Amino acid sequence: MCGIVGCVGHGDDTLDVLLDGLETLEYRGYDSAGVALVGDSLIVKKREGRLERLREAIETSDRPGGTLGIGHTRWSTHGPPTDANAHPHTDESGRVAVVHNGIIENYQPLRDKLEADGVTFTSDTDTEVVPHLIAAFLQDGLDPEAAFRRALDRIEGSYAIAAVVAGDDRIYAARNDSPLVVGVGDGRFYLGSDVPAFLEHTRDVVFLDDGDLVVVDADGWQVTDADGAPAEKEVTTVTWSAEQTGKSGYDHYMLKEIHEQPTALRQGLSGRLDELAGTVSVEELSGIEAPGAVQLVACGTSYHAALYGVELFRQAGIPAQAFLASEYATGPAPVLEDGIVVGVTQSGETADTLSALREAQARGIETLAVTNGVGSTAARECDHALFIRSGPEIGVAATKTFSSQLIALNLLVETLAPGDRGDTRTLVSALRDLPGDIQEVLDETAAETVVEENAGRDAFFFIGRGENFPVALEGALKFKEITYEHAEGFAAGELKHGPLALVTDRTPVFAVVTGNDERARKTIGNVKEVEARDAPVVAVTDGASDVERYADHVLSIPETHPRTAPVLANVQLQLVAYHMANQLGREIDKPRNLAKSVTVE
């Protein structure tokens, strides 16, 4: 959530670089945007609403110039979305401008003290204390870097902060529990809350750590730690290009990323399967011993992946639990002996998940991150990292990252608890075929027809058992995220313990039924329960059972291994959510109130 961009060394096109960078960060979720440019003076332009309103405001006034600048897209926390609350924020004289991601926890006492000193605030935000603090230290005679550092010493909380000062040709930035990246170009340098902010200009990046302070000017960048000592940083070249973050002819990023899943899974499996031997080998996991127990911590879609992982670990004979990361970090410490805590996080920057992992580390427990963020905080701080390799995902509603997480968790379980060689060989074969199976689903899906015949209903329920239960939860989450319609996911056997009271002929039920084991047969019994109450039934099935005879609609998937079938079922439910949202005219890639990367607790 929220986006930061900054650039130095571009000259007359600085403003265009900032605006284009903000546009690439729109996927993070925001409700206002603004820029600050430094030339002969400091000029700030900001507007509530979408980036188009900021562009319009700039084009209808004197176009600001500058040789360096910072920009921001804000997702409201302190104060509603208004022009005044939009970033950048300035001091009273307009000498200092600041953009900020995160939350300043002690902003109220700081604000009270500043107001007592005669400072007038113009916004409701926590961020505005920062430029006023910097200005006060400048007034005391400190140089801009020292004033910036002193201001950081006064604030508590999570932040990625970038500041500029009129008459000074540098950008000052720092991070603490919120991501910030430096882009290294040829005589041009950048800042971003995420790599896409400047990917059009350079693929060489420096990932900052908590406590780092960076000064960027036309001559380069310098990083120091919290004590002011020089910090050695490695320049990393990201492997994906700016073209990969475009829509490639699709109407929405989400649809593009749904269709990218065969490629994403091939990337995630590449070099990790020995098809001749029928074994799994993941280099990143070579130093981990088989744990006595596993705890998985995650949020949102990643939590559903964690629930799926729990099922796999338990099948392999390893006790496992999944925790919502926010509850793990703030509740009583769960007991874990001879075990490992696995953080499942798409970005590797999810604040609640990072807190949970740090709590585990404080208790001396080994940690592992399952993430898409190679240079992310989770990947750097955990003892181990397993990268899902799904490539950039721009749509707020996760699609290919979820599928890639499910595959990564299969690889993790097979590495830590290898099963019977025959079973593993069968799974490896299914994993090898999975990208092609997903392509078959994409080519032959009836999701759009199902949507056309069920639009306008009162609510939508999703049910499943075993590995299919997390898929039911994820199907409901994806549906509600982008359609804004009421949807709920349930363990199929729980319907009769309360939710059945909500079932009517106006509540379609999506039943995920794969295989023909006891779980499938019991789920069919639950389907009969809702059918008897005239609820429309949509079966997502591989055809191994006879659930089709009780269904009004069927979304078919190829027959496969029980552990890969949920991945295919999930693709069908992603398409259902997408087509329903598209029919309703929703803003699919940027659903209201949501952000791609949740970097506050």
What's the whole-model pTM score? 0.74
Q: For residue 194, what pLDDT band results from cuts at 50, 70 and 90?
A: confident
Select which of 2, 7, 299, 382 is catalytic: 2
69/178: higher pLDDT: 69
What average pLDDT does the structure give for the chain?
Answer: 91
Does the pLDDT value for residue 30 go beyond 80? no
pLDDT of 420 reads 65
Identify the helix (H) or strand (E) that includes residue 213: strand 213-217
pLDDT of 396 reads 87
pLDDT in tens, 290-333: 899 999 999 999 999 999 999 999 999 999 999 999 999 788 87
pLDDT of 391 reads 84
- For 376-433, the DSSP string reads SHHHHHSSEEEE-------SSS-SHHHHHHHHHHHHHHHHHS---HHHHHHHHHHHHH
- The architecture that CATH gives domain 3-244 is 4-Layer Sandwich (3.60)
pLDDT in tens, 73-90: 987 777 888 999 999 999
Do 549 and 419 meet the contact criterion of CB atoms below 8 Å apart? Answer: no
pLDDT of 597 reads 59
Do 104 and 50 meet the contact criterion of CB atoms below 8 Å apart? Answer: no
* Mean pLDDT, rounded, for 138-150: 96
* Mean pLDDT, rounded, for 391-401: 89
What's 246-436's CATH class? alpha beta
Does the pLDDT value for residue 421 go beyond 80? no
Does the pLDDT value for residue 537 go beyond 80? yes
Q: For residue 599, what pLDDT band results from cuts at 50, 70 and 90?
A: low
474/246: higher pLDDT: 474
Does the pLDDT value for residue 242 go beyond 70? no
Does the pLDDT value for residue 240 go beyond 90? no
Q: Torsions phi, psi of 550, nearest 5?
A: -105, 5
| 256 in active site | no
pLDDT in tens, 39-58: 878 999 999 988 999 999 88
Cα distances from 457 to residues 460, 483, 545, 580, in angstroms, run 8, 12, 28, 11
| 2 in active site | yes
* Mean pLDDT, rounded, for 27-37: 84
pLDDT in tens, 579-594: 999 999 999 988 887 7
pLDDT of 79 reads 81
Q: Which CATH superfamily is domain 445-601 in?
A: Glucose-6-phosphate isomerase like protein; domain 1 (3.40.50.10490)
Query: Which of 16-30, 152-166, 238-252 has the least mean pLDDT?
Result: 238-252
CA distance 110 to 129: 7
Q: For residue 415, what pLDDT band results from cuts at 50, 70 and 90?
A: very high
Tokens representing 556 are 């078919």
Does the pLDDT value for residue 407 go beyond 70? yes
CA distance 545 to 278: 28
Q: For strands 537-541 and 509-513, give the pairing.
A: parallel
pLDDT of 157 reads 85
pLDDT of 418 reads 75
pLDDT of 29 reads 66
**9 burial class (0-12, 13-18, 19+ CB within 10 angstroms)?**
buried
Select which of 46, 256, 480, 596 is catalytic: 596
Query: Which of 277-291, 418-432, 480-494 has the least mean pLDDT?
Result: 418-432
Does the pLDDT value for residue 554 go beyond 70? yes
Domain ranges within the chain, ordered by starting residue: 3-244, 246-436, 445-601
pLDDT of 11 reads 79
Same fold yes or no, 246-436 and 445-601: yes
* Mean pLDDT, rounded, for 188-197: 90
